[in-house]
Amino acid sequence: SQQGEEDPQALSIQEGENATMNCSYKTSINNLQWYRQNSGRGLVHLILIRSNEREKHSGRLRVTLDTSKKSSSLLITASRAADTASYFCATDANAGGTSYGKLTFGQGTILTVHP
Amino acid sequence: ETGVTQSPTHLIKTRGQQVTLRCSSQSGHNTVSWYQQALGQGPQFIFQYYREEENGRGNFPPRFSGLQFPNYSSELNVNALELDDSALYLCASSLGQARHTIYFGEGSWLTVV
């Protein structure tokens, strides 16, 4: 079963604009991760934020986490046509060690960036 | 390029048949997980192997089984295929610790007719 919802389901913007995607989840987590998937291909890890972190940056990506609301957001700044893809949040509810990596994914947001 | 290789990339099977999908993990990664992704959905966790032992299983029936070999490569086997098994099957490898990134392969597209 899916962990939660991603919002919006689809997002269409112009190059240079910012894109914000939201993710909600249901259970307590150890960390939350964001992945990118180009059409029908494998997942590419973008960024991981731990449950004790509130914000994290990586290049043009900014991720926030609000554990009290069980929600996260991914912001892509100055978007490019090459950012067109599906974006998924995934939660890892386990305590680490050998239990790490059993991810629960959301439904994804389809981002289209027009040149 | 994630260093995780899956084969075959595409295959078509008939309902009731059996299928084996293969995954070669990134060098040194002792943890491999398999996910099923139906069209338009997010991936769903099938099971995980750590050092050749099953280390957790999602909500999938026993006809989904797996193996991890001493070189940490892995197989996913599905028996008695059903039409709903049509999906992208993804393999993911990691060092099994929270600070390490999980790397996904490109997946195997299975169509059951």
Q: pLDDT-based confidence at A93, cuts 50/70/90?
A: confident
Angle at A85 between CA A84 and CA A88, to 5 degrees: 140
Rounded to the nearest integer, the mean pLDDT of chain B is 93
Average pLDDT score over residue span A81-109? 86
* A88/B42 CB distance under 8 A: yes
Question: Cα distance from A114 to chain B (closest Cα, Å)?
Answer: 21
* A101/B48 CB distance under 8 A: yes
- Listing DSSP states for A69-84 in one string gives TTEEEEEE-S--GGG-
- pLDDT at residue A103 tops 70: yes
What pLDDT, on the 0 to 100 scale, is given for residue A5? 79
Q: Say how many CB pairs under 8 Å bridge A and B.
A: 81
Which of these, B9, B49, B55, B56, lies nearest to B25 by C-alpha position? B49
Residue B46: closest C-alpha in chain A: A102
Q: Which residue has the tokens 């919006």?
A: A8
Average pLDDT score over residue span B14-39? 94
CA distance A88 to A63: 13
And the tokens for B1? 């390029």
What pLDDT, on the 0 to 100 scale, is given for residue A1? 43
Q: Which residue has the tokens 């919002």?
A: A7
CA distance A79 to A15: 5
Q: Is B86 on the interface with A (CB under 8 A)?
A: no
Hey, is B98 helix, strand or coil?
coil
What pLDDT, on the 0 to 100 scale, is given for residue B98? 58
* B96/A100 CB distance under 8 A: yes
Average pLDDT score over residue span B21-40? 92
Question: Cα distance from A63 to chain B (closest Cα, Å)?
Answer: 16
- pLDDT at residue B96 tops 70: no
Task: Give residue B85's identity as a one-letter amino acid code.
Answer: D
Average pLDDT score over residue span A23-29? 91
Question: Cα distance from B25 to chain A (closest Cα, Å)?
Answer: 14
- Listing DSSP states for B1-32 in one string gives --S-EEE-SEEEE-TT--EEEEEEPPTT--EE
* A40/B43 CB distance under 8 A: no
